[in-house]
Structure 1
Amino acid sequence: MRKQDNDLHAAGRGGIDHRAASVPTWAYMDQAARTEFWASLALRHCRGLGALSRARLLKTFGSAYNAVQARERWPEAGLTRRQAAEMATGSWRVTAKEEWNRAQTVQAHILLWSDPRYPQRLRELPDAPVLLYCRGDLSLLHSPAFAVVGSRRATSQGRSMASYMARCLSACGIAVISGMALGIDKVAHEAALARVGRSIGVLGTGIDQIYPRSNARLFGEMTEKGLLVTEFAPGALPLAEHFPIRNRIISGLALGVLVVEAASRSGSLITARLALEQNREVYAVPGPALDAHCLGCQQLVRQGARPVFSAEDVLLDLAEQLRPFGISHETLPEEEKRAPFPRPEEEPAAATTRNAAAVPGKNSRSGPAAGPVCPPADALVPEERKERLLACLRAQGAMQADALALALDISVSELNTLLIGLEMLGRIKRLPGARYEALP
């Protein structure tokens, strides 16, 4: 038996705890679950495998363990023999073992792709995460869900709209998803937790990291009354490149995504673009004309996103998808049936003039920045690597992300950082299937 196969079998030793009726923490995993967890880590830490390649392997072979065992057959899943050869070297073991050890130190449910309780909406994604670390009520992963996202530097008007939408949707039994950041995310989580639908927070860090620190109380409330999920390993820090990557989970779990406030180059626009790729509905609050905080939302509306002025707009639009859950616009409490945001024809001219003068960084901000979650795009793109990547795309044409990482001989995580920065700078365009092309 090959050494890494021995590793997989040895990983499962530890016995069964029949008390673990729900998705287990590491301590309560049975032998089969630990074996599958170790195989999942092997895929996650194998150089040259990105989320798309890992998902292909899982869907082709049915589980991480089967995929590792069948590495000679990886071309059947559209992968290369070079990728299979990298798995065979066992170079992934060191970092996989580090995550394995960290997983034993945290109280978190470990939800594997092969587990039938893994959410179906997420499983269907072409780049579905191989596993999720979770804290809180896992039943929320199977509730009808809707994402509310937007600026960390939200205006009071934006926060009011986000709170209203989250409160109304949650009151109808819809779980509200967001990213646990300051601004729009925070108020959406807080409002939704107070109603029956509650809230799901998707982290760009390890499950044991509270970021930003000022959200410590919210993290506690989400663990007690809602749900926190992440694909990142315990101990993972809030690196800038993590946050756009986690956005595919926010949109992937949701029936639709509402962008409340977003500047013209906001990370929320990445979430909206991912939602469109995932065949989710995209909505935007247009906001006052010329308001710098709303330019991204207005751009989305011009590109086909549905403008939203009240919770009823969303409930009516999603009526067919919500009907199996017994949810409709008629389940919205009477006291919430009001439009909190002026429609264009009702908008006072004075308000437009006032907001047109708003300049990000001055009085238009409602509070201090939330920290270096989204640095300037230039900071993500070193000049030398930028030119190598663009030259490769110009020479080869559109390329899938994992193939591009192999061509450039860099890790997939390093490549993701470059791609995010170049997309924000308008130098590349993401195509369906996680393919990228250079723009003129």
Structure 2
Amino acid sequence: MTSCPRWRELDAEQRKEYWAALALRHCRGLGARSCFRLAKAYGSAHAAVRHHREWTTIGLRPEPGITFAGESWRPPARREWDAAVQLNPRILLWTDPLYPPLLRALPDAPLLLYGEGDFSLLQSPCFAVVGARKAGEQARAVAAHMARYLAAGGLAVVSGMAQGVDAAVHGAALREIGRSIGVLGTGIDISYPASNRGLFERMRRDGLLLSEFAPGVRPQPGNFPIRNRIISGLSLGVLVVEAAERSGSLITARLALEQNREVYAVPGTALDSRHFGTHNLVRQGAHAVFSAEDILRDLAPRLREYGVSRQRLRALGEEERRDAARDVPELSGTETPFRPAVVPSAAPVPAAASGRESATSPGTGAAPGGGEALPGLSGDEARILDALRRRGPLQADDLAEAVALESAALNAALINLELLGQVRRLPGARYEALA
């Protein structure tokens, strides 16, 4: 089993790099993109902090370098250091050869990841499957079926350890020699939600858990969009299974498109509001899929780079067709059975009928209000909208400075504003107001 060192196994150079990554992360005015930009420009986080007085030479504003010199980052960085010493998790640094190449290529790649489990999965081709937290039984069955055959095809199946589709995906993929990676929106030691505790322990033992967040970090709404970029960033593509019109899963799909990943969607029954999000993805050019074979066939050229033969994929397709009826049974009662759908071309159903989930809980929820009139904006959200209206589109780091918000609070507010249709994310982590 390939692994990476625990904190206490880090050598002197690795500890210097880890401390420097914490210093950059906790420096006010530096977001993930700026931190990565510095590490890439200087070759490492450690080299970047040694040259903090020269940051303007690579195009950064003077303020972050001045803030860094003031060392206000030191107390929170020390708290994270001490938490890691106590927990002794495995630590994957951006400078480590084991760091996944697809993730490393992102302009906002994390400088460090905490992990538990089998790190050899990061050398496999990865593929993400995401969907609704409150998915119906049929959607969970479809997600599990897809994950089982994707894992059997040699892919490590990535998801976000939430309820619903995520849990079904991880459980199914684990049955195929542990081929599943869970990316957390909490610290690596926090099992969330509580209902997934058993799955959490299985993933630690047989799969791989990853987190960008410090040990002990509890779930916060702003953490989950940060996590989503890692889910898609690790992966060759993303499959969305059951997503309402404003589902948080669509944000993962949008991030995948920004990262030049393939996006796939399982269409549901026409006029079923639980599938409006996936229907819209198909309208916008996502691949409509009705079996894992569709995905494996599309990815075959990339999978051959990892030693997955065409013969193996053909055999899996034949096996899947034989087993499909068993894996995805017809349901009785009020649940609408899954079937290949006719994507509706009619105007969307009004919001009051859309059956949206709540986005006030972290995870893959949709816009708050359940179809009622939009609630009043929070103070942070109002300031963000005001800044974007006055100044036009802003990059996330510049926006954080303009409204004096830490990145976690900024992301929490932006995700709500995006789901409410008040702001839109542009390429390069820039945002503009829509209202």
Global fold match (TM > 0.5):
yes
Go from structure 1 to structure 2 and tell me whether the alpha carbon gap of 1:375 and 1:343 turns closer, same or farther (over 3 Å shift).
closer
Give the whole-Å Cα distance in 2 for the aligned partners of 1:214 and 1:143. Answer: 29
Give the whole-Å Cα distance in 1 for the aligned partners of 2:376 and 2:223. Answer: 15
- TM-score, normalised to structure 2, is 0.88
Go from structure 1 to structure 2 and tell me whether the alpha carbon gap of 1:79 and 1:144 turns closer, same or farther (over 3 Å shift).
same
Give the whole-Å Cα distance in 1 for the aligned partners of 2:384 and 2:391. Answer: 11
Identity of aligned residues (%): 56
Give the whole-Å Cα distance in 1 for the aligned partners of 2:204 and 2:406. Answer: 33
Give the whole-Å Cα distance in 2 for the aligned partners of 1:213 and 1:197. Answer: 21
Go from structure 1 to structure 2 and tell me whether the alpha carbon gap of 1:285 and 1:62 turns closer, same or farther (over 3 Å shift).
same
**In the alignment, which residue of structure 1 is the partner of 2:54?**
73
Contiguous gaps of at least 5 residues in structure 1: 1-20, 347-357
Q: Could you list the per-position Cα deviations for residues 297-325 of structure 1 after superposition, in whole angstroms to 9, with x for gaps in the alignment?
A: 11111111110100111011112211112
Give the whole-Å Cα distance in 1 for the aligned partners of 2:68 and 2:21. Answer: 12
Task: Look up the SS of the partner of 1:86 in the other structure.
Answer: helix
- Give the counterpart letter for 2:410 in structure 1: L
Name which of 164, 168, 173 aligns with 1:192. 173
Give the whole-Å Cα distance in 1 for the aligned partners of 2:113 and 2:195. Answer: 24
- Is 1:206–2:196 an aligned residue pair? no
Superposition pairs of residues 100-111 of structure 1, within 5 angstroms: 100-111=81-92
Contiguous gaps of at least 5 residues in structure 2: 329-337, 344-352
**In the alignment, which residue of structure 1 is the partner of 2:334?**
none
- Give the counterpart letter for 2:392 in structure 1: G
- Give the counterpart letter for 2:318 in structure 1: E
Q: Could you list the per-position Cα deviations for residues 167-210 of structure 1 after superposition, in whole angstroms to 9, with x for gaps in the alignment?
A: 00111111100000111000100110111461000000000001
Q: Could you list the per-position Cα deviations for residues 27-51 of structure 1 after superposition, in whole angstroms to 9, with x for gaps in the alignment?
A: 1111111111111100011111111
CA positional deviation for 1:262: 0.7
Give the whole-Å Cα distance in 1 for the aligned partners of 2:125 and 2:296. Answer: 12
- Is 1:131–2:112 an aligned residue pair? yes
Superposition pairs of residues 11-410 of structure 1, within 5 angstroms: 22-196=3-177, 198-327=179-308, 328=310, 329-332=313-316, 334-337=318-321, 342-344=339-341, 360=355, 373=363, 374=365, 377=368, 382-410=377-405
- Give the counterpart letter for 1:403 in structure 2: D
Give the whole-Å Cα distance in 2 for the aligned partners of 1:179 and 1:185. Answer: 6
Give the whole-Å Cα distance in 2 for the aligned partners of 1:213 and 1:388. Answer: 34
Task: Look up the SS of the partner of 1:37 in the other structure.
Answer: helix
Q: Could you list the per-position Cα deviations for residues 381-421 of structure 1 after superposition, in whole angstroms to 9, with x for gaps in the alignment?
A: 84433332222222222111101111222222221122111
Q: Could you list the per-position Cα deviations for residues 62-92 of structure 1 after superposition, in whole angstroms to 9, with x for gaps in the alignment?
A: 1110000111221233311111100000001
Name which of 408, 417, 423 aligns with 2:418. 423
**In the alignment, which residue of structure 1 is the partner of 2:350?**
none
Task: Look up the SS of the partner of 2:244 in the other structure.
Answer: coil
Give the whole-Å Cα distance in 1 for the aligned partners of 2:155 and 2:383. Answer: 45
Task: Look up the SS of the partner of 1:214 in the other structure.
Answer: helix
Task: Look up the SS of the partner of 2:140 in the other structure.
Answer: helix
- Give the counterpart letter for 1:271 in structure 2: T
- Give the counterpart letter for 2:320 in structure 1: E
Give the whole-Å Cα distance in 2 for the aligned partners of 1:230 and 1:161. Answer: 27
CA positional deviation for 1:22: 4.2
- Give the counterpart letter for 1:201 in structure 2: G
Q: Could you list the per-position Cα deviations for residues 73-119 of structure 1 after superposition, in whole angstroms to 9, with x for gaps in the alignment?
A: 21233311111100000001111000000001224211111112111
Go from structure 1 to structure 2 and tell me whether the alpha carbon gap of 1:22 and 1:190 turns closer, same or farther (over 3 Å shift).
closer
Give the whole-Å Cα distance in 2 for the aligned partners of 1:81 and 1:399. Answer: 18
CA positional deviation for 1:375: 7.9
- TM-score, normalised to structure 1, is 0.87
Give the whole-Å Cα distance in 1 for the aligned partners of 2:188 and 2:138. Answer: 31
Tell me how large the CA RMSD over aligned residues is. Answer: 2.5
**In the alignment, which residue of structure 2 is the partner of 1:436?**
431
**Is the contact made by 2:159 and 2:231 (CA closer than 8 Å) also made in structure 1?**
yes
**Is the contact made by 2:293 and 2:317 (CA closer than 8 Å) also made in structure 1?**
no
Go from structure 1 to structure 2 and tell me whether the alpha carbon gap of 1:333 and 1:316 turns closer, same or farther (over 3 Å shift).
closer
- Give the counterpart letter for 1:387 in structure 2: A
**Is the contact made by 2:247 and 2:366 (CA closer than 8 Å) also made in structure 1?**
no
Give the whole-Å Cα distance in 2 for the aligned partners of 1:345 and 1:296. Answer: 14
CA positional deviation for 1:60: 0.6
**Is the contact made by 1:173 and 1:197 (CA closer than 8 Å) also made in structure 2?**
no
Give the whole-Å Cα distance in 1 for the aligned partners of 2:267 and 2:398. Answer: 38
- Give the counterpart letter for 1:409 in structure 2: A
**Is the contact made by 1:377 and 1:422 (CA closer than 8 Å) also made in structure 2?**
no
